[in-house]
Every structure is written in C-alpha cells, then in structure tokens.
Structure 1
C-alpha cells in the first residue's frame, strides 16, 4: 500500500515552511544523523556529516567528476562532497526557499563555481543522457510519485559505469505494509520500503546492485538524541521562533521516533549503471 495523496506542490510547501527551523536546528542539514552508541558525544551536525561521508565513500568519488544531488535540501551535503572530493555538484530541489538558501551557502563557502542549485521537480529530469558520473538521493526518493519512472530517469542521466547512492528510512520485518503506509503518511511520504524492496525497484529500473549498509540502530534508533538536541537548543530556537514552535518540534520528533522505534531502519544503498 502506498500513500498516493501527496502532490509535489505539497512537498514543496512542507519544506518551504520548515526550512527556517531546519536551518537553525541542524545548520542546514535536513537528513538524519549517525551515532555509534548512546554515549557518543558527537554533535548533531557531526553525526549528520557521517551520513554524507558514507555516501561519498560508497560512490568512490574522484576529483573532477560531476554529481547530481536530487532533493538537495539546504545544500550542505553537496558542499561537503565538493570540498572533500573535488567534484562538481548540481543540486535540484522542488523547494524554492531551500534552493535560495543553498545558493547562499555555496557563495559563502566560495564554492559557487563548483556547486550550483536549481529549482525543479526531480520526478521528471530534463538533463541529457549520461550527464553525471554519480547521483546522490538522501532521504528523497520516498517522496517519488512514480518511483519506477524516477529511477529510470536517474538511470538515463547517469553515465555507463556511474553510481547512485540513496539513503532512506526502511520498513523492517516487524512493521507490516499497512502500518508502514500509515507511518509514511505522517511525514507526507509516498511509501516506506524494506531494503529488499529498494533493491528490487533498482534492479527493475536497470541498475546493478553494489552494496548496502543497514545502520538503523545507529540512525533512527538514536531517536532520544534528536529529542535531546532540540531541548538543548530550546533557548536559541525559542528566541528565533517562539516557545510554541519549539514545543511542536519536540513533540513531532518524539512522535516520529517513538512510532517507528524497533520497526524502522535506515539504509545506505549503492547501485550502478552497467558499462555494457
């Protein structure tokens, strides 16, 4: 069962409205974070960067390569990949607010020549065939209105031998399909797939599977750390957004991680376009 009621314009509105809080809460990173254990003292920013680094490592990026980042958020992962690997990155996002903020970040980092962001719907890409050496999709594809069409579009714009890395929350065996659909709907996602279902979808679109890391216990399983982070920033966030907004953030985080506790994983999956 999939949630087919959320249109791209609704997703754009959701991110337009949440961007100021996301920007302040985790310094421009809108994906989840990776902690080694409950006593890991890494900041949320540092823990979030670990996910980006794992994506870069899984892609085997090399200097001069061209990378497409779909659903690029506020641009921080794209900037980090450009700085760490010497690649050029094109980010595409349906949220105009996020594209504007990402562009400002690129300029502030003096990376405007190597990292660019554009407003657009990645459900339908208009780049030429074989335009990119690698593609990044971080917590993005679960908003695809037609996943098969999107994956085939990504396959098309990837050069032969190129790689795709995606990161997504995943449905574990303890969560039924209907429960997964209900959980996904709480954050306007179209679906919540298991790792095996992602591999099936990628294979059907022509990709060959390379590897996956299922790191749910160190990402989604660290829910209390996200809630604690929101509380530690209460004074700062309250000054910017008001006490009611901060209370809502805490409640939303608490519900999200409590509802999925023990049932939701997190996977970094890498696949490629065959050379032949």
Structure 2
C-alpha cells in the first residue's frame, strides 16, 4: 500500500476560518454541558422524538431534563450510523472523517469493538477527544489525528469503512469522496449523515444561507451528493430521508437555554422540505483485473 503525504491542516481561508471556529470555546456551552453519566460528547444533532412531558416542567428541573433529553437524542443519533454499518467485525477498521469531540468514534467502538481512527483539523477538539479516550480506557483502539479529512496521509485501502457524521458541509465533495474511495478497501463502505439542500424544491433556500453563516459551513445539495459519490466510484445502495425525524430535536432545543438562534432556520427548512436530513450508504467498487 502506497503511503500518501498529507497536507497542512488547513490549506485555504475557508478551512482556516472553520478550524478557528472549532478551536475556540464558542460551542462548548452547547455541547459540553450535555455530557452526562455516559461521558460522551457530541458535535452533531439528532433524530427521533423526545419525552414531551419535559415541557410541562418549570424552572431548573425543566432545564435539566431538557438538556438530558438533548444529550440522549444526540447519543441515539449514532445508532443511525451503526444500523447502516452493521455487521462490523472487531478486526475491521473504521475512519471517522471529521471526528469532532469523539462521540461518534467512541460509540462506534462500543458497538463493534473495532479500531477507530478519527481525523479532524481542529487540534482543540482532537485534544479533548484524546482525553476522553484515556478516560474511557480505549486510547489504544480509538485514535484521533490532527489531519485534514480530504488529505489524510493514510495508505491506500487502509479502511473497511468510512463514516462522516454531519461534516461534509465543510469540504469539497469531489475532493473528499475521492479520498474516501482511495482509503477504502475494495467493496468497502462509506456511510454519511448530513443536512443538505433539496434542490428539487428550492436550489437556494434562505434557510441554507442562515445555517451556513451560523456554522461557518457550505451546504451542498442532495443532487450533488449522489452525483459526486458516483463520480468518485462510490455506488450508493441506500438513501434514507430522515428529515421528519430530525425535526423534534430542533423543537426541543428551541425550548432550551442552549438555543443559539439558528433553531427556526432548521425547523422552517425541514418542515418545508427545502432542507433535508439524509443518510446515504455507498460501496466502493471491487477492483477487477
């Protein structure tokens, strides 16, 4: 397997802006406060309903239960990836591209027992994730690398699976998917979760602009995902529209003191189908002689 040189963590103004955004503590109040007894911290959102009884509570009890429900939903969200990946053998290897604070990687390891490598161009988040790996006693199996997910430096065909959990809005899809295809073994799987523009409804919805500005990202369209996967030699075999199940999370977050003001954009975009929340599972083609 040929080794590949990886580039500096950030290579342009956009990547530098994103890295700076996630290297600060701007988002800690949102996600770090949601770490409960299971000790997992997430940088993603969620699918599924919440316990509606929490809205009848008042004061500190309400806020505590709302935060607990948000964290529970974020943890449950990783099951959407697990369901699409399973079964994974303990001797197989997963790349978590854009691994954030490590929540996805830890839950994948807990589910399958296999080695997980996370790559992220935010040294701050990686340092936090490594600390959590030590606390969970899995630092020998769950490793976090200061690398750009579009140019990882890993050898060809290093991984059986690649996942991205709400990170592809920070990359050029053609560049990222070509890298994932290179990293995957023949017949290896790539599973992604993301929000995206439904360009069959509106190619430039106002909610997309608001979300991009808020999270320093660049949202892609549903058509772009499917076309670019095929162009990279990754054949989609499962496409799931999870937009409706993604709505309750934003409803609940709008009732939390952790609300950041972006909740109405997600709610309006999802309810009107201008923004979608999707899961796509694809497979790298087998290499033939």
> Do they fold alike, i.e. is TM over 0.5?
yes
Alignment equivalent of 1:269, drawn from 272, 280, 284: 280
CA contact (8 A) 1:19 1:98 kept: no
Task: For residues 229-251 of structure 1, give each alpha carbon's deviation from its aligned partner in whole angstroms, at most 9, with x where no partner exists.
Answer: x33xxxxxxxxxxxxxxxxx524
2:22 corresponds to 1:15: yes
How far has the Cα of 1:20 moved from its partner?
2.4
- Return 5+ residue gaps in structure 2 as ranges: 1-11, 36-40, 55-67
2:34 corresponds to 1:26: yes
Secondary structure at the counterpart of residue 43 of structure 1: helix
Pairwise mapping of residues 1-276 of structure 1 onto structure 2 (< 5 A)? 7-17=14-24, 18-27=26-35, 28-36=41-49, 39=52, 43-60=69-86, 61-144=88-171, 146-172=172-198, 173-177=200-204, 179=206, 182-186=209-213, 187-194=215-222, 196-220=223-247, 222-228=249-255, 230-231=256-257, 249-258=258-267, 260-262=269-271, 263-276=274-287
CA contact (8 A) 2:48 2:248 kept: no
How far has the Cα of 1:26 moved from its partner?
2.9
Q: In 2, distance between residues paired with 1:265 and 1:40?
A: 27
Q: Give TM-score scaled by structure 2 length.
A: 0.80
- Return 5+ residue gaps in structure 1 as ranges: 232-248
Task: For residues 120-143 of structure 1, give each alpha carbon's deviation from its aligned partner in whole angstroms, at most 9, with x where no partner exists.
Answer: 111222110000010111111111
Distance 1:19 1:182, change over 3 A: closer
Q: In 2, distance between residues paired with 1:43 and 1:193?
A: 30
Secondary structure at the counterpart of residue 35 of structure 1: coil
Q: Give TM-score scaled by structure 1 length.
A: 0.83
Q: In 2, distance between residues paired with 1:59 and 1:36?
A: 23
Distance 1:25 1:6, change over 3 A: farther
Q: In 2, distance between residues paired with 1:30 and 1:122?
A: 16
Secondary structure at the counterpart of residue 99 of structure 1: helix
Task: For residues 38-88 of structure 1, give each alpha carbon's deviation from its aligned partner in whole angstroms, at most 9, with x where no partner exists.
Answer: 748782222112221111221222222111111101001101110111111
Q: In 2, distance between residues paired with 1:94 and 1:252?
A: 26
Distance 1:101 1:122, change over 3 A: same
Distance 1:203 1:257, change over 3 A: same
How far has the Cα of 1:219 moved from its partner?
1.0
